Amino acid sequence: MRARYRFAEWTLAADAEARFAGECLDCGERCADTASADEAQGWCLKHAGLTGDRCFAMKGSQFFTAYLTNAAADGTPPTT
């Protein structure tokens, strides 16, 4: 029996804008996620001023969908 290999090309498409959230590592409080990294950093600074907490993390998230790209087509993901 011979092995047969088929290769596929995949494309990632962003589902929405990136989201950011600031988190205080001292007390565990978090800001609501936002599309603005500046707003998340501003929350961290305001929280530091109000509480004296000094350790923070900012996390960013981006969600994607993977599409099988048709090699014979132009390489764009299908419309949903």
Residue 6 pLDDT: 73
pTM for the full predicted model: 0.67
> What distance separates the 2 farthest-apart alpha carbons in the chain?
71
**Angstrom distance (rounded) from CA 67 to CA 10:** 6
Ramachandran assignment for 28, one of left (phi > 0), alpha (psi -120 to 50 degrees), beta (any other): left
Residue 34 pLDDT: 95
Ramachandran assignment for 75, one of left (phi > 0), alpha (psi -120 to 50 degrees), beta (any other): left
How does pLDDT run across 8-19, given as a tens digit for each residue? Answer: 888 999 999 999
**Angstrom distance (rounded) from CA 27 to CA 33:** 18
